[in-house]
A and B are shown apart, each in its own frame.
Chain A
Amino acid sequence: MSAVLPGHAYVAALAGLPHLTPSRLRRLLADRDPVKTWESIRAGKLHWGLLDPGVGHADSSKPGEPGPPPELIPVFASQPEPSWTPAALARAWRVHAERTDPGDVWTAYQAAGIQVCAHGGDNYPAVLDEDPEAPPVLFWLGSLSALERPTVALVGTRACSHYGEEVAAELGSGLSEAGVSVVSGLALGIDGAAHRGALARGGAPPLGIAGSGLDVIYPRRHARLWQQVGTRGGLVSEAPLGAAAEAWRFPWRNRLIAALSDVVVVVESHRAGGALLTVEAAMRRGVTVLAVPGSVRSPASVGTNALIADGCPPARDVDDVLVALGLSRSTSHRVQQVHSCIPAPPAPPDSLEGMIWASLDSEPTPTEVILARTGLPLGEVAAALDHLAEAGWLRAGDGWWQQVVKVPSCSAD
């Protein structure tokens, strides 16, 4: 409560109010001194019109609309209160404000090393200044130096295939090496693979956009990735410290990914999915969207193939993305490569290794299948597979093997 607290401290405290969507926060902060807003909430003197001008109107819950009424946000349906009337909301906020000292909140942010910046502040990312759905407040860990470079969002489904995971990782590492910052949502599946790829070989700093508070690691399995992205690049969220990964936060997170990126690449997406929300947000902003083509039989590529059918340019490799960014001129040399990309057997077909090689598919083949096709004892097969993998002809997975398409001329180019 002391006067020495910066305005940011009150912004951070306001962001921590319960059931606060970015649109509500924006109304709270619009043209008002955050200190005064905080005091009026505490005193119970907040003008109800500030809470939800559209109460009772069933307007869209899409991010970007001025303020989705709380009742419409699905997560509230499971709350004990059937709906949050402005009065109830004001009460909940007042109770929260009475129990919270903005000084403590500020100390917590400083202790966690988290930067806080309100829209219009000095260190607010310039790219978001003019955004129609600019976050009223941003929190970040690490640095935002990624935003000084070209940025590409690699997004996709959590339930991805091996193919999607590999392509995401390849694009991630290729782009990162080319000096492009990879932006992604830190989720399971494509998001995680993209960032793992970006971190694998070094290069441009990655940027992770979290849906939850920066101290709530979600998903927990990505704790290590989360930490690595935070140290090598930056982690951004508009959720306050302690905010759980509630379902309604993710569409907002997705529009932030689109807003921070120069190009959005959808690696794999099911017929409907969060990645398509990112695509919509990107299209509203005129951000180029690319889609990675997939097998017509793979459910995880239905969404991406549909995007291509609708006119999205395909992202076949890093070059396609670099062209979209204007960093590379053409991809014409690739036509030649494709012809020479037919896998050549590493050994004479009548030799043991040649026979084992021939029994593999270009898709992951389980060891059991290789044993069945060759009819050889496990020891011989395993040793030969390992030898082939060491020579780079195979990719070894856990319990499966896959032919690597080796293109000598590609590397010569």
Chain B
Amino acid sequence: MIATVPSATLLGVDGRPVSVEVQVVSGMPCFSIVGLPDAACRESRDRVRAAIVSSGLYWPNKRVTVNLAPSGVRKSGAGLDLPIAVALLAADGQIPSARLADLAFVGELGLDGSIRPVVGTVPMAEAIQAPVLVVPDASAAQAGLVGRHQIRPVGTLTALVGALRGSEPWPAPAECVPVEAQLEPVLDLADVKGQRLGRWAVEVAAAGGHHLLLIGPPGSGKTMLARRLPGILPPLRREQALEAMRVHSAAGLSWPGNGLMVRPPFRAPHHGASAVSLIGGGASWMRPGEISLAHSGVLFLDEMGEFPASVLDTLRQPLEEGVVRVCRARATVTFPARFLLVGAMNPCPCGEGMTQWECRCSEQARARYARRLSGPLLDRFDLRVPVGRPVVAELLRESTQESTVTIAARVERARELATARGMACNAELPARRLDELAPLSAAASRLIERRLRSGALSARGLHRVRRVARTLADLGEAGELVETEHVAAALELRVGLSSLLPSLAA
């Protein structure tokens, strides 16, 4: 007898439909899986047998062949355990094949017959065409996000077999906890004392999607500012949320509530991160890297100067293209990677390089430190801001600064203006359309011309400054024309590297 059950496997962040075919015929008892299974997949033989036996079902003493079609595609992970078990039971006649019509299965089996959640439920569910999807209890919320299937959450193989035989009803889905209740409270920007320039920079970064580099001595509040950035970003739109969730799901990560993701992700990898962990890949399993996990959100590189130069340089191409193509001998995978990069670093190894006589570093040590960040990478930061230590008086003063709620509202309005122009954010304004979408007032063009002539502004920096000025004008709801104050402020928010990293001084 042959039984076929639809399921799916994961390649990168994409699901691939897989049809699980099981044939049970008389002959020498044996169990083989064909169709390019990986190690985890091949081991499902033992899990399936144990689960069937523990669930009080009968293990056929026959020749069992499992084929995972299409057999050319590599199958990974343990998500095929459940479809293999179901197809085997159907092929052996222990459950009626007729009841399997319209059903697809995804799930890992425990030796005791329990059904466990799997990595990548969202993309796998997307790949499945069958109208009804049977998933582990814990993955039900994620699978339901695709919205195309009727979801049947099950907890054990026994319960599933009972439902398939018609002897018991399908288990009821668990109560959904409201997502808001599970979200952590947002960090408030009003907590940051002083740091006016830094607060402006964070607001502009959020409103225009401009990459931001904060440079300052230890303890000046760079990390504090950066961690408050996601709070003022607008909530994810549905399609952004789905993309972000596919990536998180493919990496085996959960998110608060497991419902639709609302908050933009915030990823802050430690500076010991390897290039592969950052951009994605891996030997056995093409796992999305930190830059893809930060898709639609913020990638925060604290202590950027401590990252190896080779690791940082891998960011250049994704920053430009918004995707990263990871190539391995077996497969090439494209991960989404459109993120807001926020870097924080000290001006030099001892951290005191911004105050003139405090720095204890040698010239060579400072030069080495600054060399970690290549010119092309530094150039991609639209906003480069010095963050000095706040003065004591400001630390003690009662905060009268604007709160995250106020700023977030302004940011959202600015983003709406960008959307009305047909851009996701101002940072993506193409250079050739700047004159049309960010026209300068006469005084503003004169200011830019002066800076270009004095050499303070390069031709490449010009476009970046104009985009930031556009965002500042949007934040101020100044209308179509970009005025002098916006350009002047944009120039203040893109401080020359020579004064930020002393060793780069001419």
Contacts and interface: CB of A to CB of B under 8 A. Distances in A.
Contacts of A366: 386, 388
B356 A371 contact: no
Given A158-B363, A390-B450, A399 B495 contact: yes
A299 B358 CA distance: 11
B206 to A, nearest CB: 15
A383 B485 contact: yes
B194 A372 contact: yes
B499 interface: yes
Contact of A399 (B196, B363, B500, B506): B500
Contacts of A368: 194-198, 386, 388
A220 to B, nearest CB: 10
A75 to B, nearest CB: 16
Interface residues of B, number: 33
A399 B493 CA distance: 8
A349 interface: no
A221 B363 CA distance: 12
A376 B183 CA distance: 35
A380 interface: yes
Given A161-B356, A399-B495, A400-B499, A371 B197 contact: yes
A386 B394 contact: no
Interface string A375-413: 000111011011000100000111110000000000000
Nearest to A159: B363
A188 interface: yes
Contact of A379 (B196, B388, B472, B496): B472
A367 B488 CA distance: 12
A188 B489 contact: no
Nearest to B490: A382
Contacts of A188: 363
Nearest to A158: B363
Contacts of B357: 298-300
Nearest to B496: A398
A380 B200 CA distance: 13
Interface string B216-248: 000000000000000000000000000000000
B277 to A, nearest CB: 34
Contacts of B498: 398
B472 A371 contact: no
A299 B355 CA distance: 13
Nearest to B386: A399
Contacts of B67: none
Nearest to B197: A368
B450 A378 contact: no
A150 B363 CA distance: 34
A227 to B, nearest CB: 14
B358 to A, nearest CB: 11
B294 to A, nearest CB: 27
Interface string B474-490: 00100000011110110
A143 to B, nearest CB: 26
B36 interface: no
Contacts of B132: none
Contact of B484 (A298, A299, A386, A400): A386
A44 B472 CA distance: 76
B216 to A, nearest CB: 10
A385 B488 contact: yes
Contacts of A298: 357
Interface in B330-353: none
A383 B506 contact: no
B491 interface: yes
B492 interface: yes
A201 to B, nearest CB: 15
A367 B493 CA distance: 10
24 contacts: A367-B197, A367-B492, A368-B194, A368-B195, A368-B196, A372-B391, A378-B493, A379-B485, A379-B486, A379-B488, A379-B489, A380-B485, A382-B491, A382-B492, A383-B485, A383-B488, A386-B447, A386-B488, A390-B450, A398-B456, A398-B496, A398-B498, A399-B495, A399-B500
Interface of B: 194-198, 200, 356-357, 363, 386, 388, 391, 394, 447, 450, 456, 472, 476, 483-486, 488-489, 491-493, 495-496, 498-500, 506
Given A379-B472, A379-B476, 12 more contacts: A158-B363, A188-B363, A299-B357, A366-B386, A367-B492, A368-B196, A368-B198, A378-B493, A379-B489, A382-B488, A398-B500, A399-B496
Interface of A: 158, 161-162, 188, 221, 298-300, 366-368, 371-372, 378-380, 382-383, 385-386, 390, 396-400
Closest 4 CB pairs of A and B: A382-B488, A379-B485, A398-B496, A398-B499
